[in-house]
Amino acid sequence: MKLVVVGFGQCGGRIADEFARLNRRARAQRGIEIITGAFAVNTDAADLSGLSTLGADYQHRILIGGRKTGGHGVGKINELGAEIAKEDGDKVIDAIRTPKRFFETDAFLLIASAAGGTGSGAIPIMTKYIKERYMDKPVYNLIILPFEHEETTEERTIYNSAICLKSVNSVADAIILVDNQRYVRKDFSLRNNLAKINALIVEPFYNLLCAGEEKKSKHIGAKMLDAGDIIQTLVGWTVIGYGTSQLPLFRFPFWQMINFRKKSTETHRGIHAMDEALSELSIKCNPRDAGRALYLLSAPAKEVNMDLIKELGSYLRYIAPEATIRNGDYPRERGMLDIIIILSELGDVEKVRHYYNKSVGVIHEIKQRQEEIETKLRGIDEASKDIPSLL
Ligand SMILES: Nc1nc2c(ncn2[C@@H]2O[C@H](COP(=O)(O)OP(=O)(O)OP(=O)(O)O)[C@@H](O)[C@H]2O)c(=O)[nH]1
Ligand SMILES: [Mg+2]
């Protein structure tokens, strides 16, 4: 599957940059392309110049709202981010269709954090514009939810997140949710952590996108997972999970002979990787709420057998009984077995409800504060009414 990836704001731009790296890796290691274009859009010029892999020209790093913000961002005011996207949206639309492989694109993936100003405000507007312009291609959103500590220190965090989630839900074909808090690793400094988190967020897309683009028969599985399967799976609220299991580097001949034991060990490894994928889902959810699901098993060709695929299928059916399940196998990896799981068309996501419920109180507080400021300002104006003015 080939994507055009567009990141909005700092978080979105950095993750789009990570996707550009993923494409470089696919090209170098496998000779295939999975990204037809990668772009970053921001109101902040410094953030754009901090990226490393995306094309360095103004057509790939797109500055919007320059006149309004002077290139310094919108300071978490997502209403302003949305307003700027409405004014400068054409700039983005014009840029994304320029790559020479654009016509091969299967879908768009737009990325932003929910809690910031630029990305959170711009992503629903741009999703709508791109959908109107390219009616035959799905437009997906990858939305990054804030760390817990940000919710307590900054009330705009909850407010922006709720507005962003409600808005994208009404326009995007699917919204893949990623909760930053799930990726916190204590042994990294915060900055390192973000880079590491971004790499972890993007990793599952590697095999997922590559599997359907393979041309050599030895890398095409018994059931190839292609763009059609992914498009049929992605609808509404969506989560993604990734699990791995290391394989032994050497096998003793007698080990191969004990066929029964070998098979059960492989199944065990597969289930282990699937368990990891389910416990490391990009956001906490109940798989029973999923209307659609997908799993992709990637492993060396000799490790993939029908028993294993069947076992994995029954296991996922047990975990997500209501879901229509699609699957595929990808004979590629070396020394490792990995499983990607997508749970989609989720009927409920606790964290989304949490933002909606909490923001109702915050909206009141934000309005009240605004009124207090206006009353105070009126007081100052009143006190100055007898003072002459120079204007
Ligand atoms: N995973 C991840 N999260 C990030 C990254 N950068 C920022 N965030 C999160 O994104 C939110 C802040 O949004 P930003 O993307 O920085 O904001 P913006 O869209 O640039 O908007 P303004 O700066 O307000 O104009 C916070 O919840 C951060 O934790 C990143 O590189 N990776
Ligand atoms: Mg910013």
Specify the pLDDT at position 239. 98
Residue 191: pLDDT over 70: no
- Torsion from C-alpha of 260, 261, 267, 271, nearest 10 degrees: 150
Q: Name the pTM for this structure.
A: 0.92
Contact in structure between 347 and 140 (CB atoms under 8 Å)? no
Q: Which residues contact 321 (CB under 8 A, 6 or more apart)?
A: 288
Protein residues whose CB sits closer than 6 Å to any atom of ligand 1: 9-11, 14, 43-44, 73-76, 113, 115-120, 144, 146-147, 150, 180, 194, 197-198
Specify the pLDDT at position 73. 82
pLDDT per position as a tens digit, 18-33:
999 999 999 999 999 9
- Number of Cβ within 10 Å of residue 226's Cβ equals 14
Specify the pLDDT at position 192. 62
Q: Fill in the amino acid letter for 365.
A: E
Specify the pLDDT at position 250. 56
Q: List phi, psi (to 5°) of 242.
A: -145, 130
Specify the pLDDT at position 364. 81
Residue 252: pLDDT over 70: no
Specify the pLDDT at position 132. 96
Residue nearest to atom 22 of ligand 1 (CA): 117
- Mean pLDDT, residues 218-243: 95
Q: What gap in Å lies between CA 312 and CA 304, rounded to an integer?
A: 11
Nearest to 136 by CA among 164, 90, 173, 165: 173
Q: How far out from the chain centre does Cα 294 lie?
A: 16
Residue nearest to atom 27 of ligand 1 (CA): 146
Atom of ligand 1 at shortest range from CA of 75: 24
pLDDT per position as a tens digit, 46-55:
999 999 999 9
Candidate from 86-95, 173-182, 209-218, 359-368 with smallest mean pLDDT:
359-368
Residue 103: pLDDT over 90: yes
**What ligand has the least distance to the C-alpha of 113?**
1
Residue nearest to atom 30 of ligand 1 (CA): 11
Most confident of 122-136, 143-157, 328-342: 122-136
At residue 44 the predicted structure's pLDDT band, cuts being 50, 70 and 90, is very high
Residue nearest to atom 8 of ligand 1 (CA): 11
At residue 377 the predicted structure's pLDDT band, cuts being 50, 70 and 90, is confident
Atom of ligand 1 at shortest range from CA of 77: 24
Residue nearest to atom 7 of ligand 1 (CA): 11
Q: Distance, CA 42 to ligand 1 centroid (Å)?
A: 11
Q: Which residues contact 218 (CB under 8 A, 6 or more apart)?
A: 301, 331
Mean pLDDT (the chain) is 91
Nearest to 122 by CA among 43, 237, 176: 43
At residue 384 the predicted structure's pLDDT band, cuts being 50, 70 and 90, is confident
pLDDT per position as a tens digit, 104-141:
999 999 999 999 999 999 999 999 999 999 999 999 99
Q: Distance, CA 101 to ligand 2 centroid (Å)?
A: 30
Q: List phi, psi (to 5°) of 292.
A: -140, 150
Residue 266: pLDDT over 80: no
Specify the pLDDT at position 170. 96
Contact in structure between 169 and 138 (CB atoms under 8 Å)? no
Tokens 């090209």, residue located: 27
At residue 316 the predicted structure's pLDDT band, cuts being 50, 70 and 90, is very high
- Number of Cβ within 10 Å of residue 192's Cβ equals 11
Atom of ligand 1 at shortest range from CA of 73: 25
Specify the pLDDT at position 296. 96
Residue 256: pLDDT over 70: no
Q: Distance, CA 165 to ligand 1 centroid (Å)?
A: 15
Specify the pLDDT at position 249. 59
**What ligand has the least distance to the C-alpha of 76?**
1
Q: Distance, CA 11 to ligand 1 centroid (Å)?
A: 4
Specify the pLDDT at position 305. 85
Residue 320: pLDDT over 80: yes
At residue 263 the predicted structure's pLDDT band, cuts being 50, 70 and 90, is low
Residues 329-339 as b/e (b if ≥16 CB within 10 A, e otherwise) read bbbbbeebbbb
- β-pairing verdict for 336-344 and 61-63: unpaired
- Number of Cβ within 10 Å of residue 76's Cβ equals 18
**What ligand has the least distance to the C-alpha of 120?**
1
